[in-house]
Amino acid sequence: KAGVTQTPRYLIKTRGQQVTLSCSPISGHRSVSWYQQTPGQGLQFLFEYFSETQRNKGNFPGRFSGRQFSNSRSEMNVSTLELGDSALYLCASSFPTSGRASEQFFGPGTRLTVL
């Protein structure tokens, strides 16, 4: 069974631009969560999508948004990029009915650098 995939793996943008990251969950998984990882703040929860609906949300500004498609693939968008948005963005998927964050499988991440 293929794991969680994220594209692109690396991305360089400049301040003020916007970016879209993609995550394909494990086949059969319908919940997708996004996390931001930085050296200073560690891993922080961004949001979770289930059946095309945002189910949970972390404490991030409105510049961070996401969506989920009917095939469970998810995208995350960051508008008006700031230097502090440079981070590793991790996506994790989980089996549909459990509702348990613990049964998450992580993708390899997208490394975003904002210049």
Partner 1 sequence: EDKVVQSPLSLVVHEGDTVTLNCSYEVTNFRSLLWYKQEKKAPTFLFMLTSSGIEKKSGRLSSILDKKELFSILNITATQTGDSAVYLCAVEALHSGNTGKLIFGQGTTLQVKP
What is the contact surface with partner 1 in residues (CB under 8 A)?
Answer: 3-4, 33, 35, 41-45, 48, 50, 55-56, 58, 90, 99-102, 104-109
Instruction: Measure the CA–CA gap between 26 and 90, rounded to whole angstroms.
Output: 14
Cβ atoms 54, 47 nearer than 8 A: yes
Cβ atoms 19, 77 nearer than 8 A: yes
Comparing CB distances to partner 1, the nearer of 16 and 61 is: 61
Comparing CB distances to partner 1, the nearer of 55 and 67 is: 55
Q: How far is the CB of 32 from partner 1 (least distance, A)?
A: 13
Residue where the block lists tokens 């293929």: 2
Nearest to 105 by CA among 31, 9, 8, 46: 31
Comparing CB distances to partner 1, the nearer of 11 and 108 is: 108
Q: How far is the CB of 11 from partner 1 (least distance, A)?
A: 16
